[in-house]
Chains A and B, each alone.
Chain A
C-alpha cells in the first residue's frame, strides 16, 4: 500500500521563528508532489506543485524543496506569523495511477 507520511503531526512555533516540516512519499513512478494549506472551516488552498528533482519553489515567506530520488519534500516557513496557523498537507501522484495520495498533515500553531 502506497503511503505518504508527514512529520511532525503537530508543531507549536513562536511568532517570528522559522520552521520546517517533512513529507515523505514513494520515490518510484513519481509524477508530482502537491502542498496545500488548510485552515479550519475553509477549503484546502494550493501552495505548490512540484515535479522536478531538486526543484525549489517560493511564495512569500513559504518555500518548498523536492527530492524525488529519496522521496521527500520539505516545507519551510520563515518568520512565522499567526496567520500561518493551519494544517499543511502534502499529496503525491505517481505516474502509474495519477491518484493524489494524501498525507495526514502537519498542524502548525503559531504562538503570539
Chain B
C-alpha cells in the first residue's frame, strides 16, 4: 500500500541554522500539507499546497518558512533560521483531492533546535 515517507526521522540543529525537511507524498495525490506538534500541545496546521502553489497557510507559517515541490515527487519544508521554539514533530500529509478527503500522514520528523 502506498505511503507518505519523510526524511530524516530526527534532525538536530543549532539555533539560527537552516533546515530542510523532506517528504515524498503518495504519487497520485494532488494536495500536500505540513503540520507540526510541539511536545504536549495540539497538532497545528502550517500550510497546504496544491497545483505548485500555497493554498492556505497559518499564522505560524511566517517568512522563516517556505515549501517547495522541486521535482514532482519531493515536497520540502524549509525553515530559514531556526529558533528554539521551532522544536517539534513535523508531519507531512497528502490527499487525493481537496480538504474533504482523507489525509495520509508520514511518520514525522522530530526537529530539535539547540
Contact = CB atoms under 8 A, between A and B. Distances in A.
Interface of A: 31-32, 34, 36, 42-46, 49, 51, 89, 91, 93, 97-105
Given A34-B102, A46-B104, A98 B55 contact: yes
13 contacts: A36-B105, A43-B105, A43-B108, A45-B105, A46-B104, A49-B100, A49-B101, A93-B99, A93-B100, A97-B56, A98-B56, A100-B35, A103-B42
Interface of B: 4, 33, 35, 42-45, 48, 55-56, 58, 91, 99-108
A49 B91 contact: no
B18 to A, nearest CB: 25
Given A98-B56, A100-B103, 18 more contacts: A32-B99, A34-B102, A34-B103, A36-B105, A43-B4, A43-B105, A44-B105, A46-B103, A49-B102, A51-B100, A91-B43, A97-B56, A98-B55, A100-B33, A100-B35, A100-B45, A102-B44, A104-B42
